[in-house]
Structure 1
Amino acid sequence: MKTARFFLLFILSLVVVATGDVAAQQRVESGNAALHFGDSLSTSQRRAVRRASRRLLRMAEDTTLAGRADIVTDSVKNRPTAGKVGLVLAGGGAKGLYHIGVIKALEENEIPIDYVSGTSMGAIIGALYASGYTTDEMTAIVTSGKVEEWVSGKIDDRYKFFYTERQDVPSMFSVYMDVKRDSLHSRNTLDLALPHAFINTSQIDMALTELFAPATVASGGDFDRLMIPFRCIATDVNRHEAVKYDGGDLPFAVRASMSYPVLFRPVTDKQGRVLVDGGCYDNFPWRALEEDFSPSFLIGSQCLAENEPITQESSVEKQIMSLVTIPTDYSLPEGKGLIIKREVTASLLDFAGGLSTIQQGYDDALKAIPELKERITARRPQQEVERRREAFLERCPALEFSDLDVEGLNERQQQYARTFMNFEKRPLPDSVVVPTISFDEVRERYFTLMATNEFTTNAFPEVSYDSLRKDFRMRLNLSSKPGVKFLVGGNISSTVFNQIFLGFNHFRLGRTALTTYADIFLGPVSTVVRVGGRTGFMGRTPMYLDYSVQGSWQSNLRGSFGNVTPARNTIDARTIETYAHLGFGLATTRKSVLELSVNAGYNFYSYVESYDKPDVPSTHDWFRFAASRLQFQHSTLDKIAYPTRGGRFTASVIGVLGRDKYETAELFAQELRAQQSRKWVGAKLKWEHYPSNWRDWWFSVSYNIEAVYTNHPTFGNPYATILSSPRYTPLAHSQMLYMPEFYADRYAAVGVMPTFKMWPNFYLRAGVFAMLRDPIVADEYMHYMGDLSLVYHTPIGPVSLSVTKYNFDTKNNCYVMFNFGYPIFGSRGLYY
């Protein structure tokens, strides 16, 4: 009786499945354009029927085996199978690239892969394979350097608008603060805004969308209808349980599975579940395949060691992960599987060595091929795999977008964001053909917005497909970052040029972007206090209005900045500047700015003769001025200090008008002062370039060209004339010294800077610079300086050890200096 009921259930299930397939075929033939699920049953119903069928088949197999008591148990467990094969890919960060080599070896040896499951990095590789990517294409992605860019959390500089960056801020750390309203006490409070994660996932989110969104459409949101049926695992943080994904949005499922705690921000699904890395609860998800497909054989790919106990020598990352994970059982059902494994030595995000890791997986899989061929009799030629791949890819639509929605912002902020990304809000009637743009352009516009550092993502981008229009729409959920930011930075030096920088920024976003700031630079050589703001106007051509008030004090001592030769001619040349600034600029391109500005203020010059002439009094000069400048600037430099890529071109003209009130030693003795009007005009060209075509992996050459022409007048005494003149300072050290040899009304200069790359971010950089002053007004019109520096770029600032030599006639012409940070001076009220 039981046997009859069993066969009845089995026949009924086959009839239901066949009925659904016939109905689906009829709808396809009728030309139905609907995207979702062309079957008579819902997705969940079809999956339930499939699982029931598989269980019934498995029961039949078990019943048959139970009736054969003469079969030896071990023989049953290790018998060859011609059934379906499932591939299980473990998580492991960059170690998971091992799986690519395993898949490549299996395909080349015609071992079939009927189902695939993965967790974390295993989910990424498994989804790539299930979406039709070849192992060569996966390898190309790894070796292109894109993966390192995705996991860096940094938006590439090419997406940034140059005018939004403040080049004169030596910030090393920044802290955001939330302004919250205390309704009980009717006042605003500041709360520390801690980051959601250490790595910004904007790059990863866009990459996953590009890689997997077309596959979601091709499968109708059913992972059984991918090229290879696929499963991945995430972890529900609040319920402390594994979550299996068998359908839905493929990019989202992969993103949930790889959301490594602390490093990447968790994601929230439509059921409200907060999801993180599936490896926390199931890092080897063979059970997902067993439950849904009951494959006859399982192949596991394991790229990391078994669960290691934590010791006091374990890294912080391992200690934290041990607290939020449960041990994973890296074993397959006895007699039903084989694991290809190796303890890959790569670190979590070490994708640079990906090619070697892939090769290790390939080699290990080749060693397992003889045993796999003994235990799996089915074969799948590569031509058949390619036919399946081509058939699936034909169903994947082109990733073209007609619109982009922004949620989470108020109306004005949405308008600002859409305008910044050049997505004007417009109706989309069915009768109108809306022009589409490529995913590359969508990504560029999105990264351009995120590069402003004014927004953060609240959720994974949601992509939907319109089957009638044959295009996509993207929905972003953003929020503006906390409005208050404190900055800390400066420079630690072996010389007297030590400096502390403290900054305060407040940002408010509405129809315009309003930034106010206060900066303080404190040091024995240079002290600057600056208060100002900027109002940005978004449009086809971004514009801004700058305004600030600055006070600075600078003391230049010749011969006291790391000299290794005797110093006998110290001159204390002090400049105190106080001025107001107003500027209006246009962003002519993403990296170019045209600006017209006006400065008005007061300069005070003071200078003392050499210390071996104590009877000579100091002299002073007061100069009230108004100066204007029209400047064009284009910059693609990759760093504020010691750049290695890009270039910067500056062209400007200035005009200065002022009144010089001065005293000389003779006037000082008579307690008198003289005054006179001064005016001049000038022009300046500067080009600093690090050519990419002059570069090898270990060596590059860059150059610096600068030319200045002014009709700068002679002031009441020679020191004021020198200190108010343009000067050539291509090195940070040269800005610290009072060197009349490098001041001139008119000059042309050139520098060559060969750089030797010793390790990533570690360079030996040389520099030779020559300055030609106007020979008509200067007796010694050729001057030189040379520099040799070891530079290491840390995440918070550069570390450098430099030897600098000048062609002074005196002996104090060679200096040694160590710096950690950014040796930056305030801007000049007279421009140059």
Structure 2
Amino acid sequence: MKIKLNHGIQIVFVCFLFVVGLNGFGQKVGLVLSGGGAKGMAHIGVIRALEENGIPIDYIAGTSIGAIVGGLYAAGYSPDEMEAIFSDPSFENLITGKIEDKYTYFFKKQELNSAWVQFKFDLDSSIFTPSLSLNIVTPFQMDFAFMEVFGKADYACGNNFDSLFVPFRCIATDVTNGEQVVLKNGSLKDAIRASMTFPIYFNPIRIDNNLMYDGGILNNFPMDIMCDVFQADYIIGVIVSKPPKEPTEDNLIATLMNLIIEKDKHNYTCSNGIILKPDIPELSLIDFKKALDLIQIGHKIIIDSLDIIKTHVHRYVSPLEVSTKRELFNRKSKEIFIGNIKVEGLNRSQSIFIENTILDKNEIITLEELKLRYFKIIAEDKLKYIYPYLAYDTIENYYEIIFHAIPSKPFHANFGGYISANAYTTLFLQLQYKYLGLQSIEAGLDAYFGRFYNSLVLSTRLDYFRKPTFYQLVKIGYNRWNYFNTYRSFIGSETPSYLIHEETFFDYSLTFPVANKAKLSGGFAVLHVNDRYYQSNVYLKEDIYDKNQFSGISPFIIFEYNTSDYRFFSTEGLHLKIRFDYFDGYEINIPGSTSIINERTADNCSWFNLNAYFHKAFPFSKWYSLGLSGHFAWSNLPLFASYNASKLRSNYFAPTHESNISYLPCFRDPSFAALGLSNTFKLYKNLQFRLDGYYFQSIESIIKNPDYTASYKRYFSRYAFLAYASFAYTTKFGPIALNVSWYSHNDPNFIFNFSFGYLLFNNKYF
């Protein structure tokens, strides 16, 4: 009897172990993460809390931000590592499209102009076909970052998502066929990039030659995929999205979200599980600034639901076991070294240019070196889009970088100008042709039209990618400043009320990069300068103006370093420019009827100019920046036939936009030193208030003689002050500014201006 009883106990115990095995040791837990933009940061907290409390994650599926977080976890990233990625200040650059400062190339930047808008177009059988962008954010930075983050996992899993650290699925929308796609193999980076591509914000990508957008369009919470594909025993689902705002006539994003994002029609009954909906405050899609708070919200909802989850999940996996498994998976990956390159989507000449820019023959580079060269290609501004892939070469034991590129439209038209309450209003037009082949070539026309300033410049730029990297720039142009039509810009009683300054030039230069933020240029200009003015402010209609002309050649050397954030009103960065010019030519002076001297003169003349300028902005806080600037000029300028001609050939100090577009004799002398302080207060988003003060000290000044000729005055004999106050609201097209300038020792002292945009001159020599 005793034996039979023991046998019965054994049978019961075995049955108990079998049941526990089914419900514990063999139990598989799936995690489903919804889309929802920045709110998806809560998913990281969910994963962290599950790991900390021994709740296993055997499968994971997600859409959009759920695909990003789930994909990171499946790729072997811990919750701490994910938090570090999203809380890094540089992460904001990925979602805004801003390229990090260290990857911008001053050498490649276009010369500044007054453009507001740009159109890119092609000419096909004489039909004008403009290019319309499908994205708000240019994702060059994001695409490369995805490759950095997910590149190793592709090799570790053999492009099979079931072989990741945790088996993974994500959803994308195939807009070619109008259906959802469950991504289960191939490039993990591409799958996640497709799943999070919200229309209008980001460029779509192609997978299997089909155009892919955000999976949330058709399936924002892939519970059905977890049930049908993985057949998990218990499912933890996390929904961070909420119904989009009611669409209104003036809210494009809300309207798009109502049209695009799948409404809450999920079927939660396919398996035993729990659906969690964290209480998350309303956020924009790309507002990741509160990532840490959102992570904590996700962590809290798991802790609050832990008792319910543990009543169903009997299997325990220790954090150490998870960490060990993750480490073993990550050991399968290969460090990324690039030894080969392939370009798709371009013609052979264009491909060769990119190949030679990225990789030298027999060269193997790191991912960071690749990133530096990748952004050099971006800076060319001749590709509409370039998407990077990594493929591991098992024979050579290095990675191959594959670029799929789309060439940009070759013709560019830029429109803009400067609108002023004073008489400076000027329109701007630029036409460019940009060619990418074995070399990078640009040809353009820049034109300004207005009462005050007229200019026409033809230019050609030829870039060489072979070391040493440099470009040739050739310009032929004409500039004309009509100060008579802007009499309100004249400051001081010594200023003539009629003055026209013209420059005709041929300019040739070679420019070499000096690291990322600087460039060195050398070249020469052939000049013809023509000035017309009356010697006296009192003249009759029949009076004849004086003509003073200079014709000659001017070799020059320019060094420039620039990390400033804006053309004017900069709040951070340093701008340093040193320029040396030598002029050699002859002067012709033709007196008019208001001149005391009646003889026509012609003289040879030569001199040098040295100008050194800097502006450094110190951002002390989010709301305040202090700027320090200086300008030193030195010259052995000879005296010309008249005072006006001598002043016009002199160096000039123009620290503000308004002083740069005005003729101010009080800030013109051959040699001087000037210092200034600028205080910039950020009042609200793009609204700034700026208060500047400058001191100008002439080292060697020019004075007017009674016969309208010029003389040099003793050293340090003259000084002047400039004060400037401005409210400026920065728009995408340019600043809207209300400002006042005060100039000492002049009448009038105050000049007011209300303006929109910038007025930036083409090549200006005097």
TM-score, normalised via structure 2 length: 0.89
Quote the Cα distance in structure 2 between the aligned partners of 1:328 and 1:550. 62
Equivalent of residue 488 in structure 1, options 415, 419, 439:
415
Quote the Cα distance in structure 1 between the aligned partners of 2:271 and 2:177. 33
Equivalent of residue 287 in structure 1, options 217, 221, 224:
224
* Gap change, CA 1:568 and 1:368, over 3 Å in 2: farther
Equivalent of residue 734 in structure 1, options 626, 642, 659:
659
Counterpart for residue 123 of structure 2: 179
Equivalent residues of 1:584, 1:596 under 8 A apart = yes
Equivalent residues of 1:572, 1:609 under 8 A apart = no
Quote the Cα distance in structure 2 between the aligned partners of 1:424 and 1:712. 49
Counterpart for residue 142 of structure 2: 204
Quote the Cα distance in structure 1 between the aligned partners of 2:754 and 2:645. 31
Instruction: Out of 85-94 and 585-594, give the one that drifted further.
Output: 585-594
Letter paired with 2:680: T
Equivalent residues of 2:238, 2:275 under 8 A apart = yes
Q: How does 1:25-64 map to 2 (within 5 A)?
A: none
Quote the Cα distance in structure 2 between the aligned partners of 1:293 and 1:775. 84
- Verify: 1:662 aligned to 2:606, yes or no: no
Quote the Cα distance in structure 2 between the aligned partners of 1:637 and 1:504. 26
Is the partner of 2:185 in helix, strand or coil? coil
Equivalent residues of 1:557, 1:736 under 8 A apart = no
Quote the Cα distance in structure 2 between the aligned partners of 1:595 and 1:664. 38
Counterpart for residue 704 of structure 1: 629
Quote the Cα distance in structure 2 between the aligned partners of 1:736 and 1:87. 63
Counterpart for residue 499 of structure 2: 573
- Verify: 1:91 aligned to 2:29, yes or no: no
Is the partner of 2:322 in helix, strand or coil? helix
- Verify: 1:826 aligned to 2:754, yes or no: no
**Aligned-residue offset at 1:689:** 2.3
Equivalent of residue 175 in structure 2, options 237, 258, 273:
237
Is the partner of 1:125 in helix, strand or coil? helix
Equivalent residues of 1:559, 1:569 under 8 A apart = no
Equivalent of residue 455 in structure 1, options 378, 383, 386:
383
Equivalent residues of 2:532, 2:546 under 8 A apart = yes
Equivalent residues of 1:521, 1:529 under 8 A apart = yes
Equivalent residues of 2:415, 2:430 under 8 A apart = yes
Deviations 1:421-459 (A, max 9, x none): 2x1245xxxxxxxx632211112211111122112336x
**Aligned-residue offset at 1:575:** 0.8
Equivalent of residue 679 in structure 1, options 600, 606, 613:
606
Quote the Cα distance in structure 1 between the aligned partners of 2:96 and 2:370. 20
Q: How does 1:607-618 map to 2 (within 5 A)?
A: 607-608=533-534, 618=545
* Gap change, CA 1:456 and 1:81, over 3 Å in 2: same
**Aligned-residue offset at 1:809:** 4.1
Quote the Cα distance in structure 2 between the aligned partners of 1:418 and 1:335. 52
Q: How does 1:632-643 map to 2 (within 5 A)?
A: 632-643=559-570
Deviations 1:701-729 (A, max 9, x none): 23222211111121211111111211111
Is the partner of 1:461 in helix, strand or coil? strand
Equivalent residues of 1:638, 1:646 under 8 A apart = yes
Quote the Cα distance in structure 2 between the aligned partners of 1:95 and 1:800. 37
Equivalent residues of 2:198, 2:214 under 8 A apart = yes
Quote the Cα distance in structure 2 between the aligned partners of 1:303 and 1:179. 47
Instruction: Out of 152-161 and 232-241, give the one that drifted further.
Output: 152-161
Equivalent residues of 1:344, 1:357 under 8 A apart = no
Letter paired with 2:603: Q
Q: How does 1:124-143 map to 2 (within 5 A)?
A: 124-143=68-87
Q: How does 1:379-398 map to 2 (within 5 A)?
A: 379-398=316-335
Counterpart for residue 185 of structure 1: none
* Gap change, CA 1:668 and 1:254, over 3 Å in 2: same
Counterpart for residue 235 of structure 2: 298
Letter paired with 1:226: L
- Verify: 1:351 aligned to 2:277, yes or no: no
Structure 2: tracts of 5 or more residues without a match: 1-17, 702-711
**Aligned-residue offset at 1:254:** 0.6
Instruction: Out of 755-764 and 409-418, give the one that drifted further.
Output: 755-764
Counterpart for residue 622 of structure 1: 549
Deviations 1:184-231 (A, max 9, x none): xxxx54421222433322222111111112112111222122111111
Counterpart for residue 249 of structure 1: 187
Letter paired with 1:299: I
Equivalent of residue 213 in structure 1, options 151, 154, 159:
151
Quote the Cα distance in structure 2 between the aligned partners of 1:146 and 1:574. 50
Equivalent residues of 1:179, 1:191 under 8 A apart = yes
* Gap change, CA 1:761 and 1:138, over 3 Å in 2: farther
Is the partner of 1:239 in helix, strand or coil? coil
Equivalent of residue 513 in structure 2, options 577, 584, 587:
587
Quote the Cα distance in structure 1 between the aligned partners of 2:727 and 2:250. 33
Counterpart for residue 444 of structure 1: 372
Quote the Cα distance in structure 2 between the aligned partners of 1:625 and 1:529. 20
* Gap change, CA 1:606 and 1:568, over 3 Å in 2: closer
**Aligned-residue offset at 1:730:** 0.9
Is the partner of 2:263 in helix, strand or coil? coil
TM-score, normalised via structure 1 length: 0.82
Counterpart for residue 338 of structure 1: 274
Instruction: Out of 586-595 and 225-234, give the one that drifted further.
Output: 586-595
Equivalent residues of 1:281, 1:328 under 8 A apart = no
Quote the Cα distance in structure 2 between the aligned partners of 1:404 and 1:819. 49
Is the partner of 2:511 in helix, strand or coil? strand
Structure 1: tracts of 5 or more residues without a match: 1-59, 66-78, 183-187, 427-434
**Aligned-residue offset at 1:512:** 2.2
- Verify: 1:807 aligned to 2:744, yes or no: yes
Is the partner of 1:283 in helix, strand or coil? coil
Equivalent residues of 2:534, 2:592 under 8 A apart = no
Letter paired with 2:168: F
Counterpart for residue 268 of structure 1: 206
Letter paired with 1:789: S
Deviations 1:364-383 (A, max 9, x none): 33332333233433333222
* Gap change, CA 1:561 and 1:338, over 3 Å in 2: farther
Is the partner of 1:251 in helix, strand or coil? helix
Equivalent of residue 161 in structure 1, options 94, 105, 124:
105
Quote the Cα distance in structure 1 between the aligned partners of 2:297 and 2:187. 32
Quote the Cα distance in structure 2 between the aligned partners of 1:667 and 1:756. 49
Equivalent residues of 2:483, 2:489 under 8 A apart = no
Equivalent residues of 1:537, 1:543 under 8 A apart = yes
* Gap change, CA 1:602 and 1:749, over 3 Å in 2: same
Equivalent of residue 370 in structure 1, options 293, 301, 307:
307
Deviations 1:561-619 (A, max 9, x none): 599x9999773332122222122233343333322222223222123477677698643
- Verify: 1:767 aligned to 2:692, yes or no: yes
Is the partner of 2:285 in helix, strand or coil? coil
Deviations 1:37-60 (A, max 9, x none): xxxxxxxxxxxxxxxxxxxxxxx9
Letter paired with 1:533: T
Is the partner of 2:303 in helix, strand or coil? helix
**Aligned-residue offset at 1:515:** 0.9
**Aligned-residue offset at 1:141:** 1.3
* Gap change, CA 1:369 and 1:469, over 3 Å in 2: same
Quote the Cα distance in structure 2 between the aligned partners of 1:438 and 1:713. 56
Deviations 1:393-413 (A, max 9, x none): 222222222222222222322
Letter paired with 1:320: L
Q: How does 1:647-658 map to 2 (within 5 A)?
A: 647-658=574-585
Indicate the percent of aligned positions where both proteins have the same amino acid: 26
Counterpart for residue 253 of structure 2: 317
Is the partner of 1:104 in helix, strand or coil? helix
Quote the Cα distance in structure 2 between the aligned partners of 1:742 and 1:299. 72
Quote the Cα distance in structure 1 between the aligned partners of 2:27 and 2:170. 22
Q: How does 1:415-426 map to 2 (within 5 A)?
A: 415-421=352-358, 423-426=359-362
Quote the Cα distance in structure 2 between the aligned partners of 1:757 and 1:496. 29
Quote the Cα distance in structure 1 between the aligned partners of 2:612 and 2:249. 57
Number of paired residues? Answer: 733
Counterpart for residue 13 of structure 1: none
